[in-house]
Structure 1
Amino acid sequence: MSTETATPVTPAPVWDVINGFTSYWALSAALDLGLFDALAQDDDSGTGLDASQLAAAIGAAGPGPVSVLAETLVALDLLAAVEDRFRLTPAAERYLVSTAPASMAALVRYSPGPPGAWPGLADTVRTGAPEPTVTAALTELYPALVRATGPTQAGVATAVAAELQRRGWWPEQPTIVDLGCGSGAWLTALLRTRPKGTVIAVDLPNVLPIAEQAATDAGLREQVIAVAGDYLGVELPVAEADVVVLAHVLRAEPAERARQLLARAVELAGAGGVVVVVDYTRPDPARARHDGDGEDRGAACIAARHELLLSLTMLASTAGLGVTVADLRAWAEAAGAELVDSFEPVPRQHVRLIRSRTPEATS
């Protein structure tokens, strides 16, 4: 009989999921209370605020509840505690203060999609589609959601422009097509590096004004041609482009529409252009090997936890299931192109570059 002690089975993974719900609402409450902004504004000395001072700063009745919330945020690595005082962590200072250039404060509220989508997730899985009330709620929420993505996407777009420049794929006067331009973060960031360029910005009528306003605020409105409509069927005032952007749109579409959208992007890029795909890709399907050394599906899923949770967010409120790199490769190949490179310019933001297989593109 073996004397080895078996590893005990604990409920920790279950508690982690249950506590994930609590963690989200702790962060949401802190944002609603202005807790991070209060620490950023009132902590001139760098020593932080105690619970009484923090309660006064956010208008809370007393230090007790504030202390419980703040200590929870310390446990979540969103605040730091030194003796009886609380202060911002570097991540909170950069991403949770509302005035920070890279702030995700609004994204915290809107990224999960319509709140009603989650109690109905089981029915969505059973039927294959969310309830019409959920999709209607997403349509109403979408303008706020795309605004919230702006700070993050601006950083990604700026990094992509630098990469295109390094590769020699970024002409001085590029023609850019942004399919699903959303907040306008991509078009403004790209035009800042190429102010003589032109962007054809495509999105739905209730979203397009957001991108137009972003371009106006940046002093770049004259370089933007706004086209309202479905990015699959709308007519565009250009036959070819140097760069075609598909930023976080494929995963929200059913597979066939996503395939068609990538095909249209490849066609627009022509022989010498590049399609820039930014998305949270799910793990590729497991591939069995003849030697028995198959892909470790479990490890792949664990590594892609962030991407899978965002794919589930798509499932909860859209017709999309996310996309895989295998999907992108297959769809690109069918359109006469290939996925030539992948990189991660900002943590958890994956960029894929797709180009035509014609001699001009591969030379």
Structure 2
Amino acid sequence: MSDNQPSPDTILRLINGYWSTGILGAAAAHDLFTHLEAGADSAAQLARRAQISERGAQTLLDGLVSVGLIDLAGGRYRNTAAASQYLVAGRPADLSALARLKLTHMGNLTALPEVVRAGGPVTDAAVEVADNPHWGQVVPAIAAQSVPAAAVAADVLQLERAGEISILDVGGGSGIYSATWLERNPAARATQLDWEPINAIARRLLAERGLADRFTCIDGDFHTTDFGTGTYDIALYSHIAHQEGPEDNIAVFTRLKDALKPGGALLVVDYVVDDDRAGPAFPLLFASEMLLKSKQGGTWRRADYHAWLTKAGFSDVSFHAAPPATLVIAR
């Protein structure tokens, strides 16, 4: 290949991108990152500790070096800083469960060409219903991805110095925001609104952390359940806006504005794209997930959030980075 011709390397990596998902999911399934963190630094040692074949261990190590999750130096393997923080069992932001879950979702992408043609889901799988048994697997698996953003939000909102505040978490899922914030502020109280099976998961998490006495759940659908009036100091709407259309988001933001006390703040957390849709990379890529799974959702622009929140009655809207998410704070 001549010097002035581009290499097909990037395109081939993308075409075979499922290899990376498979390698990461398999490594997480066998706790390879946890074993590496504990000192196993060769294929033979990993094979013994994980009770897998040495050939399999070496193949996973090769792949993980390729995707930049493991370093190799002097014949010894070790986790990168990112793998150590986000893929080791027991760490607060461990994403291993999500890696294993995504491995089971790979087949769904075969429908994407038809979904693109149709402009939305081509099957009525009724995923977003209260009694779907998959919540028991999905909700805990996705909790860890909110740990960094919850910590950033606590800093931005200065929750540690906020005193006796009341928090409403709409569609709170695992309750990870409430858990993080109540640990930061021992005088705060939180209420989570979500479907009953999901709230049960959150109650367990908060109980495990010794926070159950300051955590309340409301079982219901946020589209129809009353938020109250002038009740809360902070309202949270995390990773929900991307599955809703513009009008529905405006309606919820308006109701949340009414639910806040004077001077209260609404925090919206989501994957937000720049106004010209040139970045950031992860939110742009996440749009395909919404096309596959939602009828009107998407990765919305900063300008969209600003316009919607202004229509809902907020006058001060600011944006704060918490990669790959963005925090939108409205007062």
Asked whether the two chains share a fold, i.e. TM above 0.5, the reply is yes
Is contact 1:124–1:131 with CA below 8 Å preserved after alignment? yes
Match of residue 35 from structure 1 = 32
How far the C-alpha of 1:118 sits from its partner, in A, is 1.5
Counterpart for residue 60 of structure 1:
52
Q: Separation in 1 of the partners of 2:3 and 2:143? A: 49
8 Å Cα contact 2:41/2:76 also seen in 1: yes
Matched, 1:158 2:151: yes
Distance 1:9 1:204, change over 3 A: same
Cα 1:315/1:143, change in 2 over 3 Å = farther
Aligned to 1:213: 204
Inter-CA distance 137–54: structure 2 relative to 1 (3 Å threshold): farther
Which residue of the other structure, out of 304, 312, 319, is the alignment partner of 1:342?
319
Q: What is the distance in 1 between the residues matched to 2:101 and 2:24?
A: 13
Question: 5 Å matches for 1:11-160?
Answer: 11-41=8-38, 43=39, 48-61=40-53, 63-110=54-101, 114-132=105-123, 134-136=125-127, 139-160=132-153
CA-CA distance at 1:247 after TM superposition:
0.9
For 1:73 and 1:9, the matched residues in 2 are separated by 25
Would the aligned equivalents of 1:176 and 1:244 in 2 still touch at CA under 8 Å? Answer: yes
Q: Which residue pairs with 1:8 in the alignment?
A: 5
Relative to the length of structure 1, the TM-score reads: 0.81
In the alignment, structure 1 segments of 5+ residues that lack a partner are 287-299, 356-363
Question: Is the partner of 1:343 in helix, strand or coil?
Answer: strand
- Structure 1 distance, partners of 2:69, 2:272, is 27
Which residue in 2 is equivalent to 1:181? 172
1:5-26 alpha-carbon deviations (Å, 9 max, x no partner):
9953443442131132211111
One-letter code aligned to 1:265: L
> What amino acid does structure 1 have at the position aligned with 2:44?
S
Amino acid at match of 1:145: V
Contact 1:244–1:265 (CA<8 Å) still a contact in 2? yes
Question: Structure 1 residue 192: deviation in Å?
Answer: 1.7
Matches within 5 A, 1:348-363: 348-355=324-331
Residue pair 1:117, 1:130 contacting (<8 A) in 2 also: no
1:276 to 262, 267, 270: 267
CA distance in 2, matches of 1:158, 1:283: 23
CA distance in 1: counterparts of 2:280 and 2:57, whole angstroms: 35
- Runs of 4+ aligned structure 1 residues displaced above 6 Å come to none
The superposition leaves residues 72-104 of structure 1 with CA deviations (integer Å, 9 ceiling, x where unpaired) of: 211211111123322222221111112222211
DSSP 3-state at the match of 1:207: helix
CA distance 1:135–1:17, shift in 2 (3 Å): farther
The change in CA–CA distance for 1:90 and 1:241 in structure 2 (over 3 A counts) is same
| Aligned counterparts, 1:151-300, within 5 A | 151-165=144-158, 171-236=162-227, 239-284=230-275, 286=276, 300=277
- 3-state DSSP of counterpart to 2:192: strand
Question: Following the alignment from structure 1 to structure 2, what is the Cα–Cα distance between the partners of residues 172 and 137?
Answer: 36
Tell me, in whole angstroms, the C-alpha distance in 2 between the residues paired with 1:115 and 1:256. Answer: 32
- Mapped partners of 1:149, 1:89: distance in 2: 22
User: Structure 1 50/82 Cα, relative in aligned 2: closer, same or farther at 3 Å?
Assistant: same
Structure 2 residue identity aligned to 1:58: A
Q: TM-score, normalised by structure 2?
A: 0.89
Structure 2 CA distance, aligned partners of 1:257 and 1:112?
32
Q: Distance in 1 between matches of 2:178 and 2:62?
A: 41
Question: Aligned equivalents of 2:144 and 2:240: distance in 1?
Answer: 17
For these two proteins, the number of residue pairs brought into alignment is 327
Aligned-pair distance for 1:235? 2.4
% identical equivalent positions: 26
